[in-house]
Structure 1
């Protein structure tokens, strides 16, 4: 098995360069990346969610933007929200952020709520 030359076919971020994309694909890739970035910038969003079977994504040549599904007639965003934030407010803020970037309806799906980590004190050892 051979590996591709450095800088071609993959990058340290796992993103494939958009070298061979036509203008439509490049626009789609740019839009999907901007939607993902705007969603992740909303307070309370933990991460994008790929769906139960990993099917929620915008598929591009060489990569996919998971959690964002761009369609001609609508845009879907699937995400995980922090339990520290009110879910309706986070969903509304995500909807507004994405609405500024796309035309057509925006559907926001909260796939999961992530509870904050609990910190349990370590039991102290008995000294001898």
Structure 2
């Protein structure tokens, strides 16, 4: 496998944010970036320059603050506008 794609880099940055359990592909699995050999669920880049990031957070995590950190982490990789959607909140036991 060669260099990581921008979507992979965004995913790494976002999942490193405290309180983020993981990326979320949306209700029907429609939020993803398709790359040769794999797909990055929860990240979608659009032709208009807007990047969508959909996440699952750990229960008790401040939603607005964490969403802002996710936006900042993704924007540091991609630049431009980043829209963050919190798709789910899970407890410690359901996160594993």
Give TM class, smaller chain.
0.7 to 0.9
Normalising by the residue count of structure 1, what TM-score does the alignment of the two structures yield?
0.67
Partner residue in 1 for 2:66: 90
TM-score normalised according to structure 2 size = 0.88
Q: Find the partner of 1:107 among 83, 88, 93.
A: 83
Larger radius of gyration: 1
Gaps of 5+ in 1: 1-16, 19-25, 119-128
In 2, the alpha carbon distance for the partners of 1:42 and 1:69 equals: 18
1:84, distance to aligned residue in structure 2 (A) = 2.2
Structure with greater contact order relative to length (CA < 8 Å, sep ≥ 6): 2
Question: Whose strand fraction is larger, Structure 1's or Structure 2's?
Answer: 2
- Tell me by how many angstroms 1:102 deviates: 1.2
Corresponding residue number in structure 2 for 1:7: none
After TM superposition, where is structure 1 displaced by more than 3 Å over at least 4 residues in a row? Answer: none
Query: 5+ unaligned residues in a row in structure 2: which ranges?
Result: none
**Other-structure match for 1:63:** 38
d(CA) in 1 for partners of 2:69, 2:88: 17
Report the number of matched residues: 93
